[in-house]
Structure 1
Amino acid sequence: MTETPMMLDEHHQVLLLALAQTHTPIVTLDAARHIIHVNEAFTTVLGYQPEEVIGRSPASFLISQAMNCKEMEAYQQKEWGKRQVKSETLVRRQNGDDMWMRIDSMPIIEPEQSPLAGYSVDIMIDITEDWLIRDLERNTLHALVSNLSYHELGNYMCRSVREIAPDIVPSILRVDADNLLRPWAVSMLPAPYNAAIDGVQAANGLGSCGTAVARGEPIISEDIATDPIWASIAHLALPHGLRACWSFPIWLRDGRVGGTFAFYSKKPAKPSPLHLRVIDTCVKLCSLAIEREESRIQATRLMHFDALTGLPNRNSLHNYVDDFLAGNPAKPAAFFCIDIDRFSEFNDALGHAFGDRILVEIATRLQQQLLPGEFLSRGDGSEFIIVAPICDVRAAARRAENLRKLFSRKIEVAEHLLSVSATTGISIYPANGRDRSTLLGAAANAMRHAKTIGSGTFQFFNPEMNQIVQERLLLSTLLVRAIEQGRLSLHYQPQVRTGGEIYGVEALSRWRDPRHGDIPPSRFIELAEDRGLIAPIGRWALREACRQLAIWRSEARPIPTVAVNLSPLNFLENDLPDFIAQLFNEYTLEGRDLTIEITESAAMALTTDMLATVNNIRALGVGLSVDDFGTGFSSLSRLITLPVTEIKIDRSFINRFQEAKRHRLLVEAVIGLGRSLDLTVVAEGVETLPQRTLLEALGCPVLQGYFISPALSAPRLTEWLHTHASTERNG
């Protein structure tokens, strides 16, 4: 211990003796911040002899000149000796090397008159490794957000690690989709060794890296020559002087092992604490880098491939067609636009997840039937596009027939066995165009025209279709305007009991355009579904029907109930029951005054959430009618579980039940079913007296159709009620 100029009492002597035995550099300073004592650890760590430093200020020799002005200023402004101070400082050793140290300076608390007042003790802790790790982490994170490529980033990390630990050779491997090891940053290892391990199975017993992936834990092989996990591949490493390997799995956030970070040593050894700290830091950084690269790959893939089906998307289609046409092909080519029929109904009734599974199944089938040279892509919504080079009209027709057969097999999704059809439009190069936009547009127009003919059909493009498409676009715009301007109206078709009294009316939407006249529901309802307008139209119809019924009630018109058709989309709205309840309050109506009609296919496909909405509406006392009954192949057990109050026999059965025995038996069965389940049965499409007579004989309680009355405006229905009442009174 170095003697000081002043005499210390026995207590301080003991204290200095204790400080001298520690392995941490300790400096004692007077009130002027001059060194009065250093312990042996100070000399051991920093190299300065006591006589070199006693009486000197640390700032005059100990603080490295490599510190920048800001860091130096921060050091000098600290209240050394007055209060406890902590500072991370770059310190210069006696040999000129710099090292980072954390200085904990504590003032000696003594009375002001004490000779030790203002003195302080500085404890200096080597944090060079901490700073090296921080620099590694900071610099790698900066590189991660720079323009460095994925492979450049890996090599940068390895170079940075080698600067910290020059006694080892770093290596980073990836694990591919087939669980094979692939090089990422391995440039510091011998090229023949890298080539030998490229594609090695990531399995237990296949070296440190393969075993680390398989077990999901660090594998420390202190001697490759004797470690059993290297037995089968040690001959790949040993000839290159690689004697030890410490491999750590790189865990990703989704629970996968994305790769390994490994250190190789040229001699049998185990990792030092510094090695372990570096590896721990690098494994975390590698995880970030891998996830960033996977996100980049995924983003790139999404630019060219459909995320749901994995098929090339519209961007890829455009690139392919442009490249194909740029070659000025000499032979005809066919462009097929295939669209799944009634797909929006599947989506609306069963949910988008259900619809997605249908799309995936269709995509798989199309891929399996794809012919050599053909290009398949996912279009918008439920569309798929096939480009078939060297395909004339005859070949395209045969191809379309084969595609139609592809859809003849039912699709099983979530225990539902579905009959799915698709409509196809075809354009031919060069007859229908020589550029991508024209050819794809022609195929799409042909598909839309085919849909007007029937589901599951195909049509070739002809110029007249452009006019049809333009008219449809115009009609769609006019429909939006009609809804905004209140140009839709409701007509009401009476429903009568077999005894003649009024059972109710069905509200049916009508649209009269100032320029184009009456637009039939068959046209504008489909447009409304395509444009996403069907749900608001349903709410409008509910309000208008309730408003009109309230007027009739105020006029004492004998109309017990009004029925309104709703789309499955309406039942996706959780607040629909509240909306209906508000209408009842607004127009002083009760639940029994309203019946909601849904098609049989929609009723059978109600999801749990949609069924909850239906039950909440039913709880208001509102009736529930299944429209078009007999056309949707419904499950009887499913029907029994629904809160149904009414079933309507579809007009297609009424049209033929007099001549066709099977149709008549089905009508009788439905009437009997209604009687057994206490459901009201309504026969739609009654157009002749013989039909009415036979239905009455079969016991059908309610009739609806042109023979009774067509759908009428509200004023004309009022007139009809008066005439009907007179007719009934006169027999």
Structure 2
Amino acid sequence: MNSSRSTLEHMTTVLMGLPFPAALMDGEGTFLTVNGSWISQENDYPASGISSGPGGNLLALCLYAGTNGGLHAHAAILRVLQGQEDSLVLPYGGTEHSRSRPLELHIGRLPASEPLFLVRIHDASAEQFERDRTRLLDLMTQGRPRQELLQEIAQMVEHLHPAGRCAVLLLDGHTLRVGAAPRIPEAFLSGFDGLDVRERLAALPAVPGAEYTQDLSQHPYWGPYLQAGDMQAFPVCASLPVFDRSQRLVGALALCLPADAPISDTTGELLKQAQHLTSIVIEHDALIRELEHRALHDDLTGLPNRALFDDRLQRELDRAAPEGRPVAVLFLDIDDFKAINDAGGHNTGDAVLGEVARRLRACLKPGETLARFAGDEFVAILPDTAAPEAVERAAGMSDALRGGFTVAGRDVFIMMSIGIAVSTGSDGDAQTLQRHADVAMYRAKTLRTGTELFESELPQRATQRLELLSHLRRAEELGELALHFQPQMNLDTGQPVGAEALIRWQHPQLGLVSPAEFIPLAEDSGLIIPIGRWVLAEACRQGLHLLGRAPGLARIAVNVSALQFAREDFVDMVAEVLRDTRFPPQCLELELTERIVMRDVDSAVRRMQALRDLGVSIALDDFGTGFSSLSYLPNLPLNVLKIDRSFVAGAADGRTLPIVRAIMSMAEQFGFDVIAEGIETAGHVQAMLDVGCRFGQGYHFARPAPADALWPAPVPGPRR
């Protein structure tokens, strides 16, 4: 007996030092003693009050244990008391949804001569949270959708505080959306969903900072929602804001509670972990969405890429096929884009591409698609669009790009070549339609027409184009390239004052290949760089002889391509050719088109000035046809303006006479010489003389021909 009393006293001493609610029970189910934690926490632990001293009975304990009322708990406890089981664990604290946290009742026999049992109430929040957290992370690794993951978080929070009802809220811009709320009525949730936090910030208990509102029923905003949603029993709302890694508010956890169900410190700490998990889920979903978007979109412009474009095009063709509705594909390519990159660098090129994408996208109607494939290639899908309308839409896109761009203080002007292919419903192959549009685009680029509609014979032309390119690669090596010259005449005297060097290609099988065919091919392939250097060097070499052979001949003019002029080493290359050929710089005139100059005015002016510093003259070719460059004219270091042949032909019958007079007036004002191109009749000569133009060239004087045909070399005299 003394031994039993000694054991009880020892166990009581130990019991009093335990940090959790604990009691000793004898074999009859009677409480012998309880510790201070049990007594001090009795408000938190249901039924603790009736057992706050010796004599508390088993039945009172059973009323709050188990999941099937007291009978189940009573039977389970008796099995332990009778020695049938060593220990047991039961849910504790009333029904699941009335508990303020997940509690467990633990009962186990102690090593003593007399039956003695330790009864303790365990806060299982941490274990429950860890189980829920593990499940959530498993679902994330399985790639489950965000909605399901947020539902898990809401249930996790409700496990931490079973008496509460949780809503996971998301911030979409400035608008609040409900992500998950498994046990909150829709009528109450409507108070959250769609709420603009800028307008109703004061009315929102869930954002932007943690709040703890004791009585929402008296709140001017939330009171009506509590009534409508039958949430009067949950007037307390605790909230935790959810931030991403950059501390940007992305949502909130809102926990609606009964007035008599406070949040313990342990539960509060675990709720903060749930808050962090919510942030992880939201960021994880955003990352997945971003990766999915990047997989199907162009990083630079945000437009669909080829993969998404192919899918959308095939879908449109499938939808159109049953009714035979047309689908148009437009393949758009920026002309001479490499020159923009070479002149301004890739940052300038990227900025231009971004602005092109923005302007083209503004041309689209709902349901249409614009994609970027690579580099400067854009492709559009226009459903229900027949060929005539597609041509009009292409013209509208070209117009949208007129006027140029200002990029990093630079003015850049561009043009596009557009190929159009239209499916009529029966030829519903996405790849074929794209290929046809691509072929038409190259046709437009080759012919410099701006826009071309696919025709059945174009694929054959594309094959011929590849064959021609193969021959062109060896043309210089095989000596097939030659220069012809066209005299530039003094219209008053009829004497030559200069000559323009023009490249010709004489192929042994193909014959004389037109420059209109192979020059665009050389520009697209990059062959224009070595070919252009050969032309300049050959023009200087032959020009050196012509200057001494043709009386009055004072300059040799050479055309420069956009790719040549855009190269950083272009001026150095010109200087090197002049040095190697010993050609006088003051007798060399380089012809640039308006398009080349207006691509990037600042870079163009610097290069032109560097050429002027070498002593070389600069002529602006085809003036007035390409861009609105009049405002830049005073700033361009020019020597010569060349009036386009279309203005010359129109001046003879008066149609373009005002334009030609205006050009002459500007040239006189800025000190430029003027050369009229395309003079084919005596009437053209007189029209130019009438407006004060003193120089010209054209078939009226001479067709381009080899130098020896125009100015035969003097026959050497007999040897003496």
* TM-score, structure 1 as length reference: 0.63
Structure 1 residue 331, shift from structure 2 partner: 4.3
Output the CA distance in 2 between the equivalents of 1:592 and 1:703. Answer: 20
Distance 1:193 1:691, change over 3 A: closer
Structure 1 residue 602, shift from structure 2 partner: 3.9
Structure 1 residue 650, shift from structure 2 partner: 1.0
Amino acid paired to 1:181: L
Output the CA distance in 1 between the equivalents of 2:135 and 2:544. Answer: 80
Output the CA distance in 1 between the equivalents of 2:570 and 2:448. Answer: 33
Q: Does residue 1:642 correspond to 2:655, yes or no?
A: no
Question: Do the aligned partners of 1:687 and 1:705 also contact (CA within 8 Å) in 2?
Answer: yes
One of 536, 541, 545 as aligned partner of 1:545: 536
Amino acid paired to 1:365: C
Match of 1:686 in 2: 679
One of 693, 696, 707 as aligned partner of 1:717: 707
**Structure 1 vs Structure 2 CA RMSD:** 5.3
Question: Do the aligned partners of 1:309 and 1:363 also contact (CA within 8 Å) in 2?
Answer: no
Output the CA distance in 2 between the equivalents of 1:165 and 1:575. Answer: 74
Amino acid paired to 2:363: R
SS of the residue 1:471 aligns to:
helix
Amino acid paired to 1:671: M
Distance 1:481 1:298, change over 3 A: farther
SS of the residue 2:363 aligns to:
helix
Question: Do the aligned partners of 1:561 and 1:594 also contact (CA within 8 Å) in 2?
Answer: yes
Structure 1 residue 353, shift from structure 2 partner: 3.7
Distance 1:175 1:673, change over 3 A: same
Alignment length, in residue pairs? Answer: 583
Amino acid paired to 1:704: Q
Match of 1:383 in 2: 379
SS of the residue 2:335 aligns to:
helix
Match of 1:88 in 2: none
Question: Do the aligned partners of 2:326 and 2:425 also contact (CA within 8 Å) in 1?
Answer: yes
Output the CA distance in 1 between the equivalents of 2:369 and 2:460. Answer: 28
Output the CA distance in 2 between the equivalents of 1:232 and 1:583. Answer: 87
One of 308, 322, 327 as aligned partner of 1:335: 327
Unaligned runs of 5+ in 1: 1-39, 48-94, 96-128, 727-731
Match of 1:667 in 2: 660
Question: Do the aligned partners of 2:241 and 2:253 also contact (CA within 8 Å) in 1?
Answer: yes
Output the CA distance in 1 between the equivalents of 2:581 and 2:175. Answer: 71
Question: Do the aligned partners of 1:220 and 1:247 also contact (CA within 8 Å) in 2?
Answer: no
Match of 2:285 in 1: 293
Question: Do the aligned partners of 1:207 and 1:233 also contact (CA within 8 Å) in 2?
Answer: no
One of 172, 178, 183 as aligned partner of 2:178: 183
Distance 1:622 1:131, change over 3 A: farther
Question: Do the aligned partners of 2:234 and 2:256 also contact (CA within 8 Å) in 1?
Answer: no
Q: Deviations over 1:176-225 (max 9, x none)?
A: 36x433333444x4354775456331325758895665xx5544545434
Distance 1:453 1:144, change over 3 A: same
Amino acid paired to 1:639: L
Distance 1:699 1:377, change over 3 A: closer
Match of 1:428 in 2: 424
Percent identity, aligned pairs only, is 24
SS of the residue 1:367 aligns to:
coil
Amino acid paired to 1:565: N
Question: Do the aligned partners of 1:223 and 1:269 also contact (CA within 8 Å) in 2?
Answer: no
Amino acid paired to 1:180: T
Amino acid paired to 2:328: F
Unaligned runs of 5+ in 2: 1-13, 22-86, 88-124, 341-347
One of 250, 255, 271 as aligned partner of 1:258: 250
Output the CA distance in 1 between the equivalents of 2:579 and 2:309. Answer: 55
Structure 1 residue 647, shift from structure 2 partner: 0.9
Distance 1:140 1:564, change over 3 A: farther
Amino acid paired to 2:236: R
Output the CA distance in 2 between the equivalents of 1:229 and 1:275. Answer: 28
Structure 1 residue 694, shift from structure 2 partner: 5.5
Q: Map of 1:32-431 to 2, 5 A cutoff? A: 147-155=143-151, 171-176=167-172, 179-187=174-182, 189-190=183-184, 192=186, 196-197=190-191, 199-204=193-198, 206=200, 210=204, 216-221=208-213, 223-226=215-218, 230-231=222-223, 233-235=225-227, 236=229, 238-239=231-232, 241=234, 243-251=236-244, 253=246, 257-267=249-259, 286-287=278-279, 289-301=281-293, 315-316=307-308, 318-319=310-311, 322=314, 329=321, 331-339=323-331, 343-344=334-335, 353-354=351-352, 356-367=354-365, 378=371, 381-388=377-384, 396=386, 399-400=389-390, 403=393, 424-430=420-426
SS of the residue 2:424 aligns to:
strand
Match of 2:624 in 1: 630
Structure 1 residue 355, shift from structure 2 partner: 5.2
Structure 1 residue 656, shift from structure 2 partner: 3.9
Amino acid paired to 1:428: T
Output the CA distance in 2 between the equivalents of 1:194 and 1:486. Answer: 86
Distance 1:193 1:523, change over 3 A: same
Question: Do the aligned partners of 1:311 and 1:378 also contact (CA within 8 Å) in 2?
Answer: yes
Question: Do the aligned partners of 1:304 and 1:313 also contact (CA within 8 Å) in 2?
Answer: yes
Distance 1:608 1:468, change over 3 A: same
Q: Deviations over 1:104-161 (max 9, x none)?
A: xxxxxxxxxxxxxxxxxxxxxxxxx999999999998897666444344445556666
Structure 1 residue 648, shift from structure 2 partner: 0.7
Question: Do the aligned partners of 1:174 and 1:181 also contact (CA within 8 Å) in 2?
Answer: yes
**Higher RCO, Cα 8 Å, sep 6+:** 2
Q: Does residue 1:516 correspond to 2:507, yes or no?
A: no
Question: Do the aligned partners of 1:596 and 1:622 also contact (CA within 8 Å) in 2?
Answer: yes
Distance 1:226 1:338, change over 3 A: same
Question: Do the aligned partners of 2:242 and 2:279 also contact (CA within 8 Å) in 1?
Answer: no
Structure 1 residue 625, shift from structure 2 partner: 1.9
Distance 1:160 1:429, change over 3 A: closer
Q: Once structures 1 and 2 are overlaid, which stretch shifts more, 685-694 or 635-644? A: 685-694
Q: Does residue 1:468 correspond to 2:461, yes or no?
A: yes
Distance 1:262 1:669, change over 3 A: same
Output the CA distance in 1 between the equivalents of 2:650 and 2:158. Answer: 88
Distance 1:201 1:612, change over 3 A: farther
Distance 1:663 1:315, change over 3 A: same
Distance 1:441 1:601, change over 3 A: closer
Output the CA distance in 2 between the equivalents of 1:494 and 1:594. Answer: 14
Structure 1 residue 627, shift from structure 2 partner: 0.8
Q: Does residue 1:652 correspond to 2:646, yes or no?
A: yes
Distance 1:331 1:637, change over 3 A: closer
